[in-house]
Amino acid sequence: MRMVMSSALPSLVQRMIRGGLSSSPPTWSIVVKASEIDFSQPSSSGLPRKASLVCRSWYPTTRLMLGVLTRAGFKDKKHLSYFEREIPVRGKEMVTLRELGGRILSRDLWGNIAGMVEEKDLLERRLVLPLANASMAEQFGVEPPRAIVLFGPPGTGKTTFAKAVASRLEWPFVEVFPSRLAAGPEGLAGGLRLIFEEIAELDHAVVFIDEVEEIAAQRGGEPPSATQGVTNELLKIIPAFRERPGKLLICATNFIRALDDAFLRHGRFDYVIPIGLPDQDARLAIWRKFIPESAPALDLDQLVERSQGFSPADIEFSARRASQTAFEKAIAGGEGLGPTMTDYLDAIATTKTTVSAEVAEAFRQDIENLART
């Protein structure tokens, strides 16, 4: 609706609207008569085919106002009774978004990612800046990214980053779940095609496919694997997706080396970005995030040191375990205001890290062979 107002109205009327809306109570407002808007058949420009702009005034119309409105193309409908009922505007896009299970995420996700300064900086420069400033990017010959892959060991924050990018751009977040599509009548390949057709109707979206290796695994082999047709479909979908601006596809995987070669070849994904284990600063920030304010003074440097090789998820797990243990002890009659250093060190010692030395080494090789940043 805002689009109708801003692009279809003469600037003089727009100034009047702003003037009217800023005074309180408003003396003016221009309303769009919703009953006459036909959202079912948008015109080629994307604007509704037909809409009435009604100027509503709370005070008797002066000659000056009448003159301004007449010049702006409004007609004075004499002897007209006007009944009003306000309804929320639901464009077709909102319906599609709901059908897709898309969500507008809260705005603080980006700020909530602790540490990971290098990854954040890279994603900000490569994704957020060109997508949020598309016309300036174009002016400088920067092609805004359309699709990227995030890869790295489990629990390092790939899903968290994908959501944070959507939150940062203020675009809806739409997650595609291959397992749900597989259960549909069209089968997985057909389901994927249909869902991307629906996604194409959205103005903006961050589309997320987690564990993409399950539907883009290496093809070949005799007989062909059951997912081969699905991989082929996805390989066709991505170039079509790239042709429409305003959307970003983020695929995440823990096993990048399992992906089909054609999938990662130039032309499909703009960037293939590793998300690794948190460095010292990131670990410190993540510990801080999960330690309650009431906890007695703690040696944070020691926690950071002892949690080397931990993923953010491992740190979260240890921190919650320490809190739980301390809480149980306090309830059972012990003393204390919160988890102590001993609780944390015990929790660290009993946490099995997700990323083994072998996985860390494989990740290092993957960065060398496959990353594109």
Residues that bind Mg ion (CB under 5 A): 159
Work out whether 309 is an interface residue with ligand ADP (CB under 6 A). Answer: no
Q: What is the largest CA-CA distance in the chain?
A: 83
Among the listed residues 115, 130, 145, 191, the single contact to ligand ADP using CB under 6 A = 115
160 binds ligand ADP (CB under 6 A): yes
- Closest to ligand ADP by CB, 236 vs 289, is 289
3-state secondary structure of 62: coil
Site for ligand ADP in 313-332 (CB under 6 A): 313, 316
Instruction: Establish if 284 lies at the interface with ligand ADP (CB under 6 A).
Output: no
Residues 118-157 that bind ligand ADP (CB under 6 A): 154-157
Query: Contact at 8 Å (CB) between 63 and 138?
Result: no
3-state DSSP assignment of residue 344: helix
Q: Which does 289 bind (CB under 5 to 8 A by kind): ligand ADP, Mg ion, none?
A: ligand ADP
Residue 42 interface partner, choices ligand ADP, Mg ion, none, CB cut-off 5-8 Å depending on type: none
* String of DSSP letters for 255-279: -GGGB-HHHHSTTT-SEEEE-----
Look at residue 114 and give the partner it binds from Mg ion, ligand ADP, none, a contact being a CB closer than 5 to 8 Å depending on partner kind: ligand ADP
Residue nearer to ligand ADP on the CB measure, 113 or 259: 113
Read off the tokens for 203.
Answer: 């103005």
Count other Cβ atoms within 10 Å, centred on residue 247: 21
When CB distances are held under 5 to 8 angstroms depending on the partner's kind, the choice from ligand ADP, Mg ion, none that residue 149 binds is none
Rule CB under 6 A: which of 70-109 touch ligand ADP?
Answer: none
What three-state secondary structure class fits 57?
strand
By CB under 6 A, tell whether 165 contacts ligand ADP: no
Specify the residue, 154 or 336, whose C-beta has the smaller distance to ligand ADP: 154
- CA dist 76 → 8, 56, 93, 275 (Å): 19, 11, 34, 62
In the bound state with Mg ion, the residue whose beta carbon lies nearer, of 142 and 359, is: 359
Least distance CB 225 / ligand ADP (angstroms): 25
Tell which residue, 199, 177, 195, 198, has the closest CA to residue 186. 195
In sequence order, the 6+-apart residues with CB closer than 8 A to the CB of 109 are 160, 163, 164, 166, 167, 168
Residue least distant from Mg ion (Cβ): 159
Q: Kindly report the number of other CB atoms within 10 A of residue 143's CB atom.
A: 9
Considering only residues 312, 321, 323, 355, which one is a binding residue for ligand ADP as defined by CB under 6 A?
Answer: 312
- Alpha-carbon distance of 6 to 233, in angstroms, equals 40
Nearest distance in Å: CB 354, ligand ADP = 9
307 binds, among ligand ADP, Mg ion, none (CB under 5 to 8 A by kind): none
Considering the complex, state which of residue 210 and residue 343 has its C-beta at the smaller distance from ligand ADP.
Answer: 210
Nearest approach in angstroms of CB 159 to ligand ADP is 3
Residue number with the smallest Cβ distance to ligand ADP: 157
Choose one: 18-26, 87-95, 237-245, 312-320; the region binding ligand ADP (CB under 6 A): 312-320
Q: Which is nearer to ligand ADP, 28 or 310 (CB)?
A: 310
In the complex, minimum distance from the CB of residue 269 to Mg ion, in angstroms, rounded to a whole number = 18
Does residue 272 contact residue 151 with C-beta atoms inside 8 Å? yes
Q: Are 40 and 19 in contact (CB under 8 A)?
A: no
- Residue written as token pair 């990214």: 145
Helix (H) or strand (E) holding 362: helix 357-370
φ, ψ for residue 348, nearest 5 deg: -60, -45
Q: Which of 161, 140, 163 lies closest to 152 in space, CA to CA?
A: 161
For ligand ADP, the binding residues (CB under 6 A) are: 113-116, 154-160, 286, 289, 312-313, 316
